[in-house]
Chains A and B, each alone.
Chain A
Amino acid sequence: MKKIVFYSMIVGLIMTALSITIYKVTILDFSLTPGSSKENWSVEAKVQFKAKGGPVKVSLFVPPVYEELVSLEENITRGEYTLFEEKLKYGKKVIWAARKDDEKRTFYYRLDLFKGAPKIKEELSTVEEDRFMPDNQKANLKSLVARTHRKSADAETFFLRLRQNLDENSGDVKSLKKYYKDKGGITGLIGDALEMEKIKYHFVQGLIKESAGKNQSLKSYIQVESDGQLLSFDFETGEKGLPENFMIWKYGDDPLLEVVGGENSKVTFTLLKESIPVGKVAELRYAFQKRGLAMFSLMALPLNQQHTFRLLLMIPIGALIMVIMRVLVGVTTSGTFMPILFALAFQQTSLLTGLILFAIVIAAGIWIRSLLTKLNLLLVPRIAACVIVVIFIMATVSILSHQLNIVAGQSVTFFPVIILAWTVERMFIHWEESGAAAALQKIGASLFVTTLIYIALQSDSIKHIMFYFPEQILTILAVIILLGSYTGFRLLELVRFSSFKEEKVND
């Protein structure tokens, strides 16, 4: 009788989860697999400068945002500054302002995008009237344009020839370059030359979405109208054509970043490929709202809370793996749920960096902990001391890697401090009691399970299922309960008890 209750509970859980999922797939048109997630990117611009002590005004060009196109999380840090936005014809400016500041500052602007770049109507700059220019420079420019004109056939060849001429560095070019130094540099010079030739053009700057990574800078292209066609050239190399995954960040030749009242300013970009199709979220939210079901869906939550839930919903997967490893395989780890927490932390740092940082912190922690032994502290003060030691080590790693410009090292701050402290304490005691080999074996087993969970958490399919079909938690619960009642052998026991086999053969 009890067994029947048990199994009907299991079946009930699974059936509930299954029917909700089937409803979503058949009636609501949910997809079971993550669509192409190629188009989902998040970009972060990092602005750094040192304020000079007086009023500071920092303005950064950012791409335009169209509600219907970009389901975005736009995050802007501001510290003690006031934040303004200024709408421009193509895009907008984010402005940070403060009356008095003399510190080194770092601001972030983060944008989550899908469906590629925000489309901007391509409109070429109209040819402006001649700017004011000293006569001698005007003459220089005229001769350069005339020379280039003679040796070219159309707008395209004119541009390419112009680049060549500029490279040749003849006398007038040298003088022009000097003159343009504080007037937009080479960009300004080329712009003026094209204007003089009555060629329509504009500059675009952007990021190539293929190369996810940190510390990128914008790539500049120039677009030129030639015989009614729009041609793009790499501004550095002169190569023709825009890269396929080019995301336009800004148009025009105004500076990307302007810092008034600060020095040593720079802006770098970080591109992250997001594996959850953010766009899908918006679409599905809409589908739910149409049916009045939005209240029951995670997608009704604001985006930043959804983000939290995305992580939260992955924890059951980690727990399931822990249970499988313990009950079916027989691997014991240091601290039951330590691998889940570290797998989550490694999501932020990436696996290899995470493992290396983990090794560094644990090794340093154990060493300092061994110095603490002599003090003979009681348990709770000892753990508390360990927490402080761990924070100290993390700070040291962070600062050192910042000094040495190792970006990866700075992500050490994502580690869960308390768990780390307990791990140090446990490993240390284990080391004392059973020797280094046993301690290393234990930590190795823990990291092995951590890696498995990490890989599972990285899987786009699992992320997709857990986020869009959170009812599947019930299935996981059912499986965990089922495993909890498993009384069969563990995989490692098949090795442990293998000596029984030998005996039989001998008989």
Chain B
Amino acid sequence: MIKFISPTELHKLGIVGMNARNRRFIMKNNPRHLYPLVDDKLETKKLAKKAEIAVPELYGVIETVGQIKKKLHKILDAHEEFVIKPSKGSGGNGILVVVAKTPNGFVKPNGEEITHKDIFLHVSNILSGLYSLGGQLDTAMIEYRVKFSDVFSDISYQGVPDVRVIIYKGYPVMGMLRLATKESDGKANLHQGAIGAGVNIADGVTLGGVCHNKVMNIHPDTEKTISGIQIPYWKTILEISAKCQEMTGMGYIGVDIVLDKELGPLILELNARPGLGIQIANNEGLRKRLDKIDAVVGEEREVSERVAWSMQNF
């Protein structure tokens, strides 16, 4: 049986639907001309550098097919492990993670071995726009592979979990920890089958999780409980996220942050159209929180004050 919930009930719960998100929050707060800053991960990286926000180090960029032969070798030779991704990709598509080298190739997180040729093919696919929005031409970026901190080793399957924080007009609104599963293939994107766990904004402790819009409190692959886990550096994460929002000039964004074992929180990417699944993961609607922020937004505050406000109120 398909279950329904009535619109009035959803409204009462303060759930934000797609139409409301697009019209009330995205279109009103995110000017079109700023989109390239977040849709292109290279631009985001540049911007973050300027704002002195930590990102995974960029090893190199491949822009043309010619560079595959000339440049890619050198980049790959210089690093033991790395991640290749399309700079305009989304939803985890086209991301190749390499964790080790062998004499004649590379190793993926699941232990599978691939050759140089496989990597060249992958990069040329990226360049031809196979993974980018609307099939436009793209560039491939090669960056530092994030090594996730031990806190998560029990609840993420072969992939770096990322923290998604939604920032509205400078204030953290809601957070979610996304955990890779076997199905999501080492990537922490919800519609690839990753688990989203709500996070208490006040203290950074995980609540229950959801997978494909269904409640899931035990990780299906590691069989460990998802709730009750303290995310380290929580306050820093919120502050970095709030800073990111400032640097883009957009009013409503989703910030993806990963936690590196040694380097701490790093910005992975920004999102001008963050998904609505975060409401299911937190078992709470966004609207009441957004309204609350709207009520205080006139008061000028520093980043740390705004974060403190959110931690107190949500």
Chains A and B are bound partners = yes
Residues on the A chain within 8 Å of B227, using CB: none
Cβ-defined contact, B128 with A378, below 8 A: yes
Q: Interface residues of A: mostly helix, strand, loop or mixed? A: helix
Q: Is the CB of A493 within 8 A of B10?
A: yes
Tell whether, in the assembled complex, residue B23 and residue A485 are in contact, meaning their CB atoms are under 8 Å apart.
yes
Residue pair B215, A497 in contact (C-beta under 8 Å) = no
**Chain A CB within 10 Å, residue with most, of B19, B128, B213:** B19
**Stretch of A76-84, A220-228, A499-507 that contacts chain B:** A499-507
Nearest chain B residue, comparing its CB with the CB of A327: B19
Assess whether A488 is in contact with B19, with CB atoms less than 8 Å apart. Answer: yes
Q: Is the CB of A499 within 8 A of B210?
A: yes
Query: Interface residues, chain B, CB within 8 Å of chain A?
Result: 2-7, 9-11, 13, 15, 17-20, 23-24, 91, 93, 121, 124-125, 128-131, 135-137, 210, 213-215, 279-280, 283
One of A377, A488, A498 near B20 (C-beta < 8 A)? A488
* B118 CB to nearest A CB, Å: 13
Chain B proximity of A228: nearest CB distance (Å): 73
- Kindly identify which residue among A330, A377, A429, A500 contacts B10, using a CB–CB cutoff of 8 Å: A500
Tell me which residues across on chain A come within 8 A of B19, comparing CB atoms: 327, 486-490
Question: Are A497 and B128 interface neighbours, CB within 8 A?
Answer: no
Cross-chain contact B4 with A498 (CB below 8 angstroms):
yes
Chain A residue at minimal CB-CB distance from B213: A496
Inter-subunit contact A500/B137 (CB<8 Å): no
CB distance A379 to B214 under 8 Å? no
Could you give, for residues 468-507 of chain A, a 1 whenever the CB lies within 8 Å of some chain B CB and a 0 otherwise? 0000000000000000011111100111111111110000
In the complex where A379-B136, A500-B10 touch, is A493 in contact with B3 (Cβ < 8 A)? no
- How many angstroms between the C-alpha atoms of A498 and B5 in the bound complex? 5
The answer to whether B280 and A497 have CB atoms under 8 Å apart is yes
Contact B213 A494 (CB under 8 A): no
Check if A376 sits within 8 Å of B15, measured CB to CB: no
Q: Which residue of A lies closest to B138 (CB)?
A: A379
Using known A-B contacts A487-B24, A489-B7, determine if residue A429 contacts B280 with beta carbons closer than 8 Å: no
- B56 CB to nearest chain A CB (Å): 23
A328 CB to nearest chain B CB (Å): 9
* In the complex, residue of chain A having the shortest beta-carbon distance to the beta carbon of B192: A434
Q: How far is the CA of A327 from the CA of B3 in the complex (A)?
A: 20
Partner of A490, one of B18, B93, B137, B279: B18
User: Residue A214 at the B interface, CB < 8 A?
Assistant: no
Q: In angstroms, how far is the closest chain A Cβ from the Cβ of B65? A: 8
Is the CB–CB distance between B128 and A376 below 8 Å? yes
B residues near A379, Cβ cutoff 8 Å: 128-129, 135-137
Q: Which residue of A lies closest to B3 (CB)?
A: A498
Report A122-169 residues with CB < 8 Å from chain B CB: none
19 pairs, CB–CB < 8 Å, chain A vs chain B: A327-B19, A376-B121, A376-B125, A376-B128, A379-B128, A379-B129, A429-B135, A432-B130, A433-B131, A487-B24, A489-B11, A489-B15, A490-B17, A495-B2, A495-B3, A497-B15, A497-B279, A499-B213, A502-B3
Given the complex of chains A and B, what is the CA–CA distance between A377 and B2 in angstroms?
Answer: 43
A382 on interface, CB distance cutoff 8 Å? yes
A432 CA to B131 CA in the complex, in Å?
Answer: 10
Residues of B within 8 A of A432 (CB): 130
Question: What are the 7 tightest A-B residue pairs by CB atom distance, in nearest-first order?
Answer: A498-B3, A487-B20, A489-B17, A501-B5, A498-B5, A489-B7, A379-B129
Q: A425 at the A/B interface (Cβ < 8 Å)?
A: yes
Closest to A432 in B: B130
How close is B233's CB to chain A, nearest CB, in angstroms? Answer: 30
**Assembled-state Cα–Cα distance A379/B138 (Å):** 10
Chain A residues with CB below 8 A from B214, complex form: 499
Which A289-312 residues have C-beta < 8 A from chain B? none
CA distance A327 to B19 in the complex (A): 7
Shortest C-beta distance, B146 to chain A (Å), equals 23
A433 to B: closest C-beta gap in Å:
5
Q: Is A376 in contact with B124, judged by CB distance below 8 angstroms?
A: yes
In the complex, are the beta carbons of B17 and A499 less than 8 A apart? no
Task: Report yes or no: A494 in contact with B4, Cβ–Cβ below 8 A.
Answer: yes
How far is A487 from B18 in the complex, measured between Cα atoms in Å? 8
Given contacts A433-B91, A488-B7, A503-B283, 7 further A-B contacts (CB under 8 A): A377-B128, A485-B23, A487-B19, A490-B18, A495-B2, A500-B9, A501-B3
- Residues in A with CB closer than 8 Å to B18 are 330, 490, 493
Report the minimal beta-carbon distance from B309 to chain A, rounded to whole angstroms. Answer: 26
